[in-house]
Structure 1
Amino acid sequence: MRRSFYHYLMTLRAPKKTKESQFANDAAKDIQFPKQSEDYHELSTYLEMNTDYLENMYIFDELWEKYVENNK
């Protein structure tokens, strides 16, 4: 069974401040994050239009590539 991007992202949560862990920690606090989504466009549109905690979409793109590789 494939897991959602959110589920993958939650595995990156950590108190150590990296760009990835900070994104994961902030997404965990976002009650409107599309938690069941496996769709790149839905997630990127949500992040671009509805959040201010992701400083750069490049972080999302990098993690998306890792997510896809991890879910083969």
Structure 2
Amino acid sequence: MSTYLPTPPAALCPICGEQNLCAQVKAQATGEPAEPCWCFSQIISAAALAQVPASKRGLQCICQRCASAQGITPKADE
């Protein structure tokens, strides 16, 4: 018998409501070391970030699909 564990709100995209696949949220939930998240190597457009409701800013990450819909670009190697 398995135990149902609800998805924490931080794991959901605040725009579409689907899983955001945030590596940081996964690490917090599992206690495992955090892997680099997909967003660490991207610049997410202001248009995409503007779609995040004010009440969820800084609390929930947008998913790659929603970020891509508004335009993301790879960060230059530092």
Question: Quick check: which has more Rg, 1 or 2?
Answer: 2
- Higher relative helix content: 1
Place the TM-score, normalised by the shorter chain, in its bin. under 0.3
Taking structure 1 as the reference length, the TM-score comes to: 0.28
Taking structure 2 as the reference length, the TM-score comes to: 0.27
